[in-house]
Homo-oligomer: A and B are copies of this chain.
């Protein structure tokens, strides 16, 4: 069912998932298109971004850095939206904006959370290569990871929105880059298209050995966005003085219970000590005020020069967002996942 002019389809959080979300945790509802009040604009969603952090906002108790989605409320998410009615100075009907309209066809905004996109070609880039995921890669890698020329940088989810940008920026800084991805197609893409020095298939039974073989000089920067078995394979390869920016743990977002033993913490903390490792968590929301301008300038130049590319995985239709999101948590996407909600 495509977008219509007189119906607002909204995908609500129907239940807090236990483990991997299922379609029953979401509910599609049709309501009237909202009417903008004084100072408000009506936005129509063109592209909806789907990102792993959303899983954390589906819990009853949120992660702290952002409020959880209440039951019965629309799922939140970044969007590229079109202003279709404006009662607000400075925003005109037809304007393209970066917004937080969530998983729905239409939304209201007072304009304070909107970023005008002008006549940006391929505006979905505002959700990927010029947006939050790439900014996450930029801050985590450069400010915390601080790769030096000749060092080895490892990143998992290597063809995903964050990982692929981490690896390409690390290459630009002269580092050797080893990616980790699920499947031969993604690994080939990481090497042939993204320019990684190597990419290891995390599904290979010999994964840990293959990673060690690809990191003969150890690992100086491990950009942590998955956790789980990948981290276990990385840990013994970390060099003295290694940096581990901690961006996410997609392998654990669906943990329903405290995982069984053995307890891996003492081994990890011993490595942190013995190898003088710096493990530093970050939340990208903290860094817009100080680092976003530099990111936009650098990234726009890299994209224009073709030095960084970001594959998009475009899913057609808002109604397919839940299935696409569940697939994202299983690593079934290939590139930055966006939902095409309306084409103009």
Contact = CB atoms under 8 A, between A and B. Distances in A.
Given A260-B262, A263-B261, A246 B269 contact: yes
A247 interface: yes
A291 to B, nearest CB: 14
Interface residues of A, number: 39
Interface in A262-310: 262-283, 286
A70 interface: no
Contacts of A279: 272, 278-280
B262 A258 contact: yes
A267 B264 CA distance: 11
A64 interface: yes
Contacts of A277: 280-281
A259 interface: yes
Contact of A273 (B246, B261, B269): B246
Contact of A269 (B63, B227, B283): B227
Most chain B C-beta atoms within 10 Å of own C-beta, residue among A259, A276, A281: A281
B261 A63 contact: no
A276 B286 contact: yes
A277 B272 CA distance: 14
Contacts of A264: 263-265
A263 B274 contact: no
A276 B63 CA distance: 12
Contacts of A258: 262-263, 266-267
Please give the count of copies of this chain that the complex contains. 2
A207 interface: no
Interface stretch (A38-46, A211-219, A248-256): A248-256
A43 to B, nearest CB: 30
A260 B252 CA distance: 19
B263 A260 contact: yes
Interface in A238-252: 240, 246-249, 252
B278 A266 contact: no
Contacts of A265: 263-265, 268
A270 B286 contact: no
Interface string A175-213: 000000000000000000000000000000000000000
Contacts of A227: 266, 269
A274 B267 contact: no
A259 B266 contact: yes
A82 B168 CA distance: 59
A316 to B, nearest CB: 33
A252 B266 contact: yes
B266 A263 contact: no
Nearest to A241: B286
11 contacts: A63-B270, A249-B273, A252-B266, A259-B262, A259-B266, A261-B262, A263-B265, A264-B265, A271-B281, A274-B283, A278-B280
**7 smallest beta-carbon distances between A and B, as pairs:** A261-B261, A273-B281, A272-B281, A264-B265, A259-B263, A258-B262, A279-B279
Interface of A: 63-65, 224, 227, 240, 246-249, 252, 255, 258-283, 286
